[in-house]
Amino acid sequence: MQTARKKQKGPRPKHVPQRTCVACRRTDAKRTLIRLVRDADGRVHIDPTGKRNGRGAYLCTDPACWDQALRRRALERALRIDALHPDDIAALEAYARTLPPSMAAE
C-alpha cells in the first residue's frame, strides 16, 4: 500500500545558501557575511559581489571576528596561503574599522 503524500499549497520556499564565518564558526545566509577572495597571485581582496574568481572565505560583520581571524591565522588556513601580504593585512584591518561595533553581548 502506498502512502499518500499531501501536496504543498502555495509557492515553494526560496533556498538561501548558508556559509560559515571562519573566525566564530557561526553559520548564516551567504549575503549577510562578507566574502574574502584569494586571487591567482595569492593576494586577498574583499569581494562585495560574492562572484569574483578565486578561493573564498567568509567573515561576519563583527569587527571582533575580523581581529580574531587575523590573529589566529584563520584566513591563511581557509584561503590556503602561507602568509597574508602586509598590504592585504592593512587593507583588511582598515575595512574592519569601518564596520559597526557588535551589538551581541555574549
Q: Read off the pLDDT of residues 90-102 as tens digits, 9 standing for 90 and up.
A: 999 999 999 988 7
pLDDT digits (tens, 9 = 90+) for 42-81: 999 999 999 999 999 999 999 999 999 999 999 999 999 9
Is residue 8 included in any domain, yes or no? no
Total domains, the chain: 1
Backbone angles phi, psi at 58, to 5 degrees: -120, 145
Q: What is the pTM of this model?
A: 0.83
Assigned domain for 12 exists: no
- Give the domain CATH number at 51: 3.30.1230.10
Pick the closest to residue 56 from 101, 17, 100 (CA basis): 17
